[in-house]
Amino acid sequence: MSDISFSSYRKNDIHGVSLYPATMIAPVQHKIMASLFRDNDISSVYDPYHGSGTALFEAAKLDLNCNIIGCDINPLAHLITYSKLKGVTQKIEDDIQSLFFLIEKTPEYNFEFDNISKWFRADIIASLKKIRWAITQISSKRNRAFFWIVFANTIRKYSNSRSSTYKLHIKDMVDINRLHNNVIRDFQKQVENNYQKFTLKAPNVTLLKGDILKMSRKLADRSMDLTITSPPYGDNQTTVPYGQFSSLALFWIDSKDLKLEGWELDNYSKIDRMSLGGQRKNTLTHFGETLLEPYLNEISKEKQTKVINFFADYFISLDDICRVTDKYIVMTLGNRTVDRININLTEITSRYLESNGFILVNTLSRDIPIKRTPRLTSKVRNEAVSSMNEEFVIIHSRQ
């Protein structure tokens, strides 16, 4: 298992159908799980930060009858993962024909949300409204889910937000005006090109939507053979803004097909603020302080607060991962830089898991060959800061 580079992997499979930030590399997770499944009688898999469902889908490919449980606070992540694991129905081709017919027959209807005209040109809004109404007329929940996640890509592509960043960042007016309106044609093409990828129908799936620090309480001690995940590497507002990235799509998708708690659409950044470390909820333990002390001493007081808030939540999450996991914990991690100080999340996590009775079996690393984030990002004291260009996979086994 030493080589996990997969530098030639491109998301031409199901994982490329609906864009989502900072996803795990499918063949990496598949290779690791294949080895663990083969030798350790793995019958249940848990991902507490499932994102777009990469690891859970690959687990289902390895064993369709595997008991799969995932959690995420982001409704778009929940919808994408649901669609991957449940697939489309046998009537999908009929529903595609109906959908395309309905797009052309859309009646006039009112639909808007705050600042819709800021983020979309008027003619783009008109085209998106046709697709939205047509999807709502499809009776199959599973087929609607597939149409929605393809629609989410169309929304992102034709919005006035720059595609070079996951944050909402308005384009120059010249770029907004030069965009050709091929909304309907592009959407239809993506539907036709991708529906045959959604054939997997995993029977034993539980997807939890919400704050993992609360939702994990639903799981019994040592109830999952394997936990495999890639947690956030810091609070979402200053690392990867998953919620902000998803927000435009969430405003367009019919709420009846989203798992919502009621606060998610308050504003574009609410999901990120409610995510791990997004607000002060917990405090560090003495052991947590010991692990972070070498880093905190080197960064500014302002940045210290954000780091402490994140790790206070993160360590509680690790405690619960250890509580519910019976055999193996596999985590894909990156080491972020704060105030030019590299915080070794990999080492911190490994030491914390060992303190909870999980010994380190292996540490794997791979370069990140293709990134949306520039390799040199913001400046600190007028010097460019390198972004994350390497990720690590740690494998721990219960003693």
pLDDT at position 374:
45
pLDDT at position 372:
47
Number of Cβ within 10 Å of residue 104's Cβ equals 9
Each residue of 216-247: pLDDT tens digit? 999 999 999 999 999 999 888 888 999 999 99
* Span 306-332, average pLDDT: 97
Rounded to 5 degrees, what are φ and ψ at 397?
-120, 140
* Residue 97 falls inside a structural domain: yes
* Residue 267 falls inside a structural domain: no
Lowest mean pLDDT among 106-115, 204-213, 235-244: 235-244
pLDDT at position 368:
72
The last residue of one of the domains, among 149, 168, 197, is 197
Query: Does one domain contain both 214 and 355?
Result: yes
* Residue 98 falls inside a structural domain: yes
* Residue 184 falls inside a structural domain: yes
Query: Does one domain contain both 343 and 226?
Result: yes
Each residue of 325-371: pLDDT tens digit? 999 999 999 999 999 999 999 999 999 999 999 999 999 998 876 55
Q: Based on the structure, what is the number of domains in the chain?
A: 2
pLDDT at position 2:
64
pLDDT at position 369:
60
pLDDT exceeds cutoff 60 at 381: no
Domain with residue 79: its CATH number is 3.40.50.150
Each residue of 15-34: pLDDT tens digit? 999 999 999 999 999 999 99
Query: Does one domain contain both 291 and 348?
Result: yes
**For residue 294, what are the domain limits?**
14-86+204-235+275-398
pLDDT at position 279:
87
Query: Does one domain contain both 356 and 213?
Result: yes
* Span 268-294, average pLDDT: 94
pLDDT at position 307:
95
Nearest to 343 by CA among 321, 376, 369, 310: 310
Query: Does one domain contain both 322 and 280?
Result: yes
Which is higher by pLDDT, 368 or 110?
110
Query: Does one domain contain both 327 and 212?
Result: yes
pLDDT exceeds cutoff 90 at 380: no
Percent of the chain whose pLDDT exceeds 70: 94
pLDDT at position 3:
74
Contact 284, 315 (CB under 8 A): yes
pLDDT exceeds cutoff 80 at 383: no
pLDDT at position 1:
62
Contact 190, 148 (CB under 8 A): no
* Span 94-122, average pLDDT: 97
Q: Residue 339 contacts by C-beta under 8 Å, 6 or more apart in sequence? A: 298, 299, 300, 303, 380
pLDDT exceeds cutoff 80 at 385: no
pLDDT at position 236:
86
Query: Does one domain contain both 104 and 142?
Result: yes
Each residue of 170-184: pLDDT tens digit? 999 999 999 999 999
CB neighbour burial string for 26-44, b if at least 16 within 10 angstroms, e if fewer: bbbbbbbbeebbeeeebeb
State if pTM tops 0.85. Answer: yes
pLDDT exceeds cutoff 60 at 387: no
Mean pLDDT of the chain: 93
pLDDT exceeds cutoff 90 at 189: yes
* Residue 250 falls inside a structural domain: no
